[in-house]
Amino acid sequence: MTKRVLCYGDSNTWGQTASRTRLDEAKQWPNILWRALGEDYWVIQEGLSGRVAGNYETTLALNGQPVFEATYYIASPVDLVIVALGTNDFKKKYGRSARDIASDLLWYKQAIQDYAELSEGRNTQLLYLCPANFTPTEGYFEVTNGVREELIEIMRSFDVPILELNDLEMSSDGIHYSEAAHQEVARRVKEKIEEMLA
């Protein structure tokens, strides 16, 4: 039976570059991952630039939680959900603490349990991709100092699978993955998936 993996994230899952264009599909980490996993897997790429983990953005489409329900229904049945969110939530304009963001991220664990009837007997698992080592940019991506590290520490304290991305090569804007980083994320995620779904 083909294993189905849903990648639910922000601009780095969508494949955004520093110039705000989109990388070629073959260079985006979900698609690199799919090729690496092989024919026994189906990888569903659901990234959106600007998406937040919670439900407080005035642009409704950018709210991760309400959009997730429809996305999950469309993608089902799913063996693994990868939640790659949290970076946009760090923006100072939102005023979110690390605990606020962690709470929003943990919502997805409960949501998957609530949608269990869609699993068709599969044991749907969840993996959190922690925000990478981005560089705050004045006027574009201002964040509160230390909030990323605090969020990761909080997520470590819960009984949830996480994958930390602490040493990636970022693009020139300091926020989006470089092409090399897309390759590296795909490699690390592949290893984690094979460990989780073995």
pLDDT for 128 equals 98
pLDDT for res 192: 98
Annotate 13-40 with b (16+ C-beta within 10 A) or e (fewer): bbbbbeeeeebeeebbbbbbbbebbeee
Listed by start position, the domains of the chain span 3-196
pLDDT attached to residue 198: 78
What is the reported pLDDT for 146? 86
Contacts of 149 (CB under 8 A, 6+ apart): none
Give the number of residues written for the chain: 198
Q: Is 85 left (phi over 0), alpha (psi -120 to 50) or beta?
A: beta
**What average pLDDT values come out for the chain (198 residues) when binned by 10 residues?**
96 96 98 98 98 97 97 97 96 92 98 92 96 83 83 95 95 95 98 94
3.40.50.1110, 3.40.50.1220, 3.20.20.70, 3.40.630.30: CATH of 3-196: 3.40.50.1110
What pLDDT does 132 receive?
94
pLDDT at 118: 86
